[in-house]
Chains A and B, each alone.
Chain A
Amino acid sequence: QVQLQESGPGLVKPSQTLSLTCTVSGASISSGVYYWSWIRQPAGKGLEWIGRIYSSGSINYNPSLKSRVTISVDTSKDQFSLKLSSVTAADTAVYYCARAVGGMRNNYYYYYMDVWGKGTTVTVSS
């Protein structure tokens, strides 16, 4: 059974870079079947998609965060990572990593997250 686990500092200072890693167990990132995504959720608010990466290195970012986000993958460790630069208090949130399924069906593109990590809370504060 595939599991995802987020890890990284729980406290980041304003203007610094937030760095998180998601470790995948029970599946191989390099299998080429799935995408790997980051999503965040401020306390009491809704979900916000940050971006996704494919094992080949193909990447898509949320346009609202694109200038500050970098997602990368290390297939040798079955890990993928998130870096968010120049953070402010508005970046305080629970950050989730997730496995995603994407492709074409009936001429429509489908994409959804089917397995989620437990989430890790990141607070931006001095």
Chain B
Amino acid sequence: SYELTQPPSVSVSPGQTASITCSGDKLGAKYAYWYLQKPGQSPVLVIYQDNQRPSGIPERFSGSNSGNTATLTISGTQAMDEADYYCQAWDSSTVVFGGGTKLTVL
């Protein structure tokens, strides 16, 4: 079965750029998606089809996907961006999630 791998944790200082990676075999040949989830809340879609932002998602969120790695980049990270982030792909008629990355804004 297809697997997506994320680092368990990433730390960033306020105002700096945070990058969260998601690795999977030939992931660049699929679309990648990103969700953020704050404690006690439902996941929220922040990037779809590699680099598209849903309405209402701040411009500081961006995405890329090439080769075996998709990357979520948060520019000018704010304290409110502290959350768990999950990548997602579609493979063999199923949704696959990465294990999640806890972003800490120090």
Contacts and interface: CB of A to CB of B under 8 A. Distances in A.
Contact of A110 (B44, B49, B97, B98): B49
Interface string A6-40: 00000000000000000000000000000001010
A112 B94 contact: no
A39 B48 CA distance: 18
A39 B98 CA distance: 14
Interface residues of A, number: 27
A62 B29 CA distance: 21
A contact patch SS: strand
Contacts of B90: 102, 109-111
What 5 A-B pairs have minimum CB-CB distances, sorted nearest first? A49-B95, A116-B42, A111-B90, A112-B33, A47-B97
Interface of B: 1, 29-31, 33, 35, 42-45, 48-49, 54, 86, 88, 90, 93-100
Interface of A: 37, 39, 46-49, 52, 60-64, 96, 101-102, 105, 108-114, 116-119
